[in-house]
Structures are given as C-alpha cells and as structure tokens.
Amino acid sequence: MSITIKSGADIDAMRVAGRLASEVLDYITPFVKPGVTTEELDKLCHDYMVNEQGCVPAPLNYAPGGHTPYPKSICTSINHQVCHGVPNDRPLKDGDIVNLDITVIKNGWHGDTSRMFIVGNGSIAAKRLCAFTYDAMWKGIAKVKPGARLGDIGHAIQTFAESNGFSVVREFCGHGIGLKFHEEPQVLHYGRPGTLEELKPGMIFTIEPMINAGKKDIKSLGDGWTIVTKDRSLSAQWEHTILVTETGYEVLTLSAGSPPIPDFILQAQA
C-alpha cells in the first residue's frame, strides 16, 4: 500500500482546501429549511464554490471505475439515505435529516467534509442519532497520533456507536486525500485496536462514519450512486479531514461556523 506523506507545502495547501470546504457548509446552513429542494442547495453551493471561492466542485462528473459520472456538485443524503444521495427537485420536509457532503478542489488539492442538518423540528430519535454520530466521529479522531493504528480509529467508533444501540455501515469508509479525491489508506469505521497501518506524521485522511439507527445492512438505488439502509431506518454521517501531526492530529476542515468540538475532546486537550 502506498500512502503519501505530505510535505509542509502540501499541508499548507490542504489547510486552505479543507477550510474552504467547511466554509461552503457555513454558507449553505441558513438555506437548509423546509421547502427548499436539494437541487437548489446544490446550485447555491456550486455557485459559491466556483464564483466566490475559485474552487472546482470535486463530485461533479466524478466517475470512479464502473460508475456513471456523478451529475451534481454536492451529495445530499436524506433520512434513510446513507451516502452519495443525488440532489433532486423534492422539497425538504419538516423533520427530515440531511447530510450535505462537500468536496472542493483548490489549486489541485482536495478538501472534504460533511455535516448533518435537521430540517425544522426533528424527532428526538433523529436528533439523538445525529448527535451520537458526531461524537462517534470525534471518538475516532481522538485516536489519531503517530504510532497509532488505523484499527484503533475504527474500534473507537464501532464500540461507541454499538454501545449506544446504533450500527456502523461496513461497505464505505474514510480515505486518504490530497491531489486525488480518494487515496490510500482506507479508513474503516469498525475494527480491532492495534491492527492495520501505522499512522505517521504527514498522513492526511478523512474520518466519516455512517451510523444507522437500525441494522447495518445497506443497498444501492437504481441511479448507481445513492445508498440506503435496507430496513429504511435513519442514517447519519459526519466527516472531517485529518492530518497526523508530530504529536497528535489537526482537523483541517474547521471553519468559523463548524459545530462545537465535543466537551470530551476539549477536556482531553486541557
């Protein structure tokens, strides 16, 4: 496996791309409300990336082996959609939950992040799923440091999610990122501690757990992209891009409007 170690200049460029991706989510937040279509959100994000940030939307026409080109600039996954939902003309309804997944390309470098949004007044169950999935991502992030293993990240996420009654999607994972959208390594959101690749300073990858309220099983829809839960239970996902530093980690996809970092992270840093 060939995992690229980023140079200082590479890391600086990735900091810019990561912050810009997060700022797209800051920008779009006030527009996510009942009655808006995901197609409208897609157009707003596209125009902001291209016209305001001077970025390229990475998903647009992205076509990994065997896939039809992705037709939109962001991914919008609603309720029981797990990931890669394609924006369309269906208005969001009060109580929906939606993941907006943003990847920008700035000067060749990719910044990748996603957030959950509760549309209007969400149910207690929906809010709980979104909150626990956010914490699950940070449980994984907290394991990142030189000498740790990728299995430590997956184990932390899996044990936290399952101990709270949720399940972890197995078929999709985090990934290395840089000049390419998807690089090595694959970052599983389940696993055993002390296994898989050792983390080294200069590695950059995403941590993006997909957590289901019901069972972990998923299926693909006919559009070739959208993934849903088989039992139609709600699914949530959050994503950050992470740099392995000399002493721990740096989250590259933070911006002024990012959700608060969990207390258990801040206490550990104190």
pLDDT digit string, tens, across residues 152-210: 999 999 999 999 999 999 999 999 999 999 999 999 999 999 999 999 999 999 999 99
pTM of model > 0.85: yes
pLDDT of residue 156: 98
pLDDT band at 63 (very low <50, low <70, confident <90, very high): very high
Q: Please, is 78 exposed, middle or buried when counting C-beta atoms within 10 Å of its C-beta (0-12, 13-18, 19+)?
A: buried
Segment 74-122, tens digit of pLDDT: 999 999 999 999 999 999 999 999 999 999 999 999 999 999 999 999 9
Fold of 8-269: Creatine Amidinohydrolase (3.90.230)
CA angle 46, 80, 124 (to 5 degrees): 105
Domain boundary assignment for the chain: 8-269
* DSSP strand pairing (97-106 vs 204-207): unpaired
Start-end of H helices in the chain: 8-28, 38-47, 124-141, 150-163, 263-269
Mean pLDDT value of segment 255-261: 97
Candidates 28, 116, 101; CA nearest to 60 is 101
Rounded CA-CA distance 155/256 in Å is 30
Q: What are the tokens at 165?
A: 């009654």
Residue 183: its H or E element: strand 183-187
